[in-house]
Amino acid sequence: MAPPAGPVRAPEAGGTAGVRIRAARKEAGLTQQGLSAAVQVSRQTIIAMETGDYAPSVYLAIKVAKALHVSVEELWDAEPPTGQ
């Protein structure tokens, strides 16, 4: 049986990773084009991550987090942060 056609949706609650990526990118002062150049992917890939239409590989997730000066967990952790 063939896999379903269409984009690969990241399995996450409420699309929060995309919101986190966009916020971290803006905080870092980067445009989508700037982030895409920093991690060597197309701008469309960054757009797809921000909209939740693309789940990056672990390698790309690490590159994105490093470019944004945050941890991978801050961007893709499905659990909301707990007050400590």
Q: What are the pLDDT tens digits along the chain (84 aa)?
A: 555 555 555 444 445 899 999 999 999 999 999 999 999 999 999 999 999 999 999 999 999 999 999 999 999 886 655 654
CATH number for the segment(s) 16-71: 1.10.260.40
pTM attached to this predicted model: 0.76
- The ranges assigned to domains in the chain are 16-71
How distant is the alpha carbon of residue 16 from its chain centre?
9
Rounded distance between C-alpha atoms, residue 70 and residue 81, angstroms: 14
